[in-house]
Structures are given as C-alpha cells and as structure tokens.
Amino acid sequence: MKKTYPPIYYSDYLQLEKLLGSQSLKSDEYEAHAHDEMLFIIVHQAYELWFKQILFELDSVMEMFATENIEETNIGKCIARLRRITAIQRLLIEQISVLETMTPLDFLDFRDFLVPASGFQSIQFRIIENKLGLRPDSRITYNNKSYYSVVSNEHQEILKGSEKEKSFLELIDDWLSRTPFLNLEGYSFWEKYKACVEEQLMLDKGIIENNPSLSEEKKKKQLDEFEKTIEHFRCLIKEEKYNELVKSGQRKLSHKAFLAALFINLYRDEPILHLPFRFLNYCVDIDENFTTWRYKHALMVHRMIGAKVGTGGSSGHHYLLQTAEKHKVFRDLFDLSTYLVPSSARPELSESLKKELGFYFTFK
C-alpha cells in the first residue's frame, strides 16, 4: 500500500515568506532610498545559495573519495556532481552581467552604507576554496593580513577548522597514487615513455637546428627554450627531481599521482580510463570557471569603483586580478599538456596491459 503524506503548500515548502522577506535596504534605513540596492542584495544572496549547493555537491564527492576502495559506480556519480558544479559556476559568471546593469553612479548611491562589509567575507566561498585545496601559504594576502582576519571570531574558527581537513586535491592524490597498472611484471610503461619522449625531443631539436629561416640569435634562443623543455621532462621521470618541485611548492600532486594523471590523459580512449579522464577534466573545468569568475569580478569592480579601495579595505580590482591567477588549485592538471606526445607516437601498450585496461582493474 502506497504511503500517504500530508499536503504541503508551495510557499511553505520553500519558506518564501522568510526568503523574500530577507532583503533589507540600508539606504531605506538611512532614508536615502537607492533603487539598485535591491538588485545588489538579491544577486549576492543568490551567490550564497549557489555556494551552498556547490558545497553540498562537493561534500558528497569528497565523502565517496575518502574511502580506501572507491566503487566504479561512485566515479560516475562523482562526475555527475562535478558537472553540476560547473553548470552552477556558469550561472555565477552570468550573474555578473546582471549586476553590471547597475551603473557606477547607481552603486555610489548606497556604497558608503556597506562599509566595511565585503564579498571577501563570504565564509561559504572561503570554505569552498579550502575544501578544494587552496592552502593559506598559497593565498594572496589581504592587506598583509590573514584572509580570515576580517571575519567574526566564530567564522574564523570555522575557516581554521576547514584548513585542517583533508582537501579534495589530497583525496584525488591518494586515489591517483593507487592506480594499479603503471608497472606490471615484465613491463615498465615509463621506460618506454622515456624513450618515446627522448626520440620526440631529438626530432624537435633537429627542426630548430636545421631551420634555414632562423637567424643564429633566434636559433640560440629557441635552443635555450628547448633545454628548459628537456629539464621539465627530466623532472617528471626522475622522482627525486620531481620531489624537489613539490618541496618548493611548484608541484602539489605527488610524483606517483602526477604520472597516473598523465597516463590517464595519454590513454583516455582505453575503456577503464574513460571515467577517470572525465573526472580529472571536470576538476580542471572547476578551476577554470572560478578563475574566469574571479577575473570577470575584477573587471566589474574596476568598472564600478575605478582605482578606489574596496568596501572591505582591499586594493579593489588589483587584489581580485591577483587571485584569479594565484588561487588555482589544480594547476598540476593544467600542466599535464606539457608532457603529452602525439597519439601516433605514444608507446604501444602490451597486449596483456590492454586487456587489463578493458575493465579488469578497478580504481580502488
């Protein structure tokens, strides 16, 4: 027998009386009504609601990745939820254009009433950054102070707590490091990859040296750049060199995890690697979308307040522009393209390994 539930009214279910009654204009409070303040409040409240949904999705993905053995079906669920996050991010970016229907003069009508409140104090967004893997030593300082110095004591404790939790980036590192098929008995993929790369590099060097259109000066410059490329590959293959990059902060993923991510990108067409490739790709999309959002936010702030200091006391759009570049979390995944070789030049996988890649192994 089907269970019956008591009827519920639309407005009650969504708590619309509470939601729609939460826009209090400061300009009205000071008897200086500013029409565009309503838009300003609603856009930022919408941001916070979407941040809540992003955290809801991200927490569920992190919970699945926190287990030592991740079921293949859960990888599919995680991909769907990361995809949802990227769809939300596109809405966040588009909301900026709605806010830009407000002119700088419109904003000036109520801006002074907001000091020292600032979007910088969005606790949910800072928690998202921390959960993804942005650590304090990687942050652009806020007026030479800690990023949580401008929030309440209660919120400071929440942010400090989120810093101590294992981040999504660290969980991904653990997962990638457990990739089982990089070295099988009688077959070392990385030795074959190293030989392939060396062959490709020598071909590239020959093209530079034998290019008649290059002057000696330009040829020397390109060969110098070529040597830097070789050094990149040496750091990749030799674990001790790679670990030096980790210690200096130039790499965040462990050596084993980075090699696994590279392998997945090189052989993404193999059946067992379809989902892991899509998963890593969505991680890059999330980073790219937040970078785009920060950049567009910086442009909007510049348009609205020019070179003035922001309401929270930061250096306005200059600070926001710096965070767009500096606050990337999955930079290592962006850098994977440096180490790709043409599909036609990839090392041939052994028949036994190709068989294993046909859904025999699982990402534990």
Q: Identify the weakest region by mean pLDDT among 172-186, 222-236, 301-315.
A: 301-315
pLDDT at residue 60 greater than cutoff 70: yes
Across residues 2-22, what is the average pLDDT? 95
- Using pLDDT thresholds of 50, 70 and 90, give the confidence band for residue 226: confident
- Using pLDDT thresholds of 50, 70 and 90, give the confidence band for residue 64: very high
Domain-wise residue ranges, the chain: 27-356
pLDDT at residue 25 greater than cutoff 70: yes
Which one has a higher pLDDT value, 330 or 73? Answer: 330
pLDDT at residue 24 greater than cutoff 90: yes
What percentage of the chain has pLDDT greater than the value 70? 92
- In degrees, to the nearest 5, what angle opens at C-alpha 314 toward C-alphas 309 and 318? 80
Q: Look at residue 361 and give its three-state secondary structure.
A: coil
pLDDT for 181-221, tens place per residue? Answer: 556 556 677 888 888 888 888 888 889 988 988 898 898 89
User: 188: part of which helix (H) or strand (E)?
Assistant: strand 187-188
Q: What is the per-residue pLDDT for 93?
A: 97
What does the DSSP assignment read for 269-323?
A: TSGGGHHHHHHHHHHHHHHHHHHHHHHHHHHHHHHHHTTSPPTTSS-THHHHHHH
Q: What is the per-residue pLDDT for 161?
A: 94
Please say whether the structural domain 27-356 has been given the CATH code 2.60.120.890: no
| pLDDT averaged over every residue in the chain | 89
pLDDT at residue 278 greater than cutoff 90: yes
Query: For the purposes of burial, counting CB atoms within 10 Å of the CB of 206, is it exposed (0-12), middle (13-18) or buried (19 or more)?
Result: exposed
Could you give the CA distance from residue 88 to residue 82 in angstroms, rounded to a whole number?
Answer: 10
Across residues 260-289, what is the average pLDDT? 94
Q: Identify the weakest region by mean pLDDT among 115-119, 161-165, 228-232.
A: 228-232
CA 358 remoteness from chain centre:
30
Query: For the purposes of burial, counting CB atoms within 10 Å of the CB of 216, is it exposed (0-12), middle (13-18) or buried (19 or more)?
Result: exposed
Across residues 27-32, what is the average pLDDT? 96
Identify which of 207, 171, 157, 143 has the alpha carbon closest to the alpha carbon of residue 280: 171
Across residues 56-67, what is the average pLDDT? 96
DSSP β-bridge partners for residue 183: 188
Q: What is the per-residue pLDDT for 118?
A: 87
Q: What is the per-residue pLDDT for 233?
A: 83
List alpha helices for 165-188, DSSP H: 168-177
Q: What is the per-residue pLDDT for 309?
A: 60
Q: What is the per-residue pLDDT for 120?
A: 86
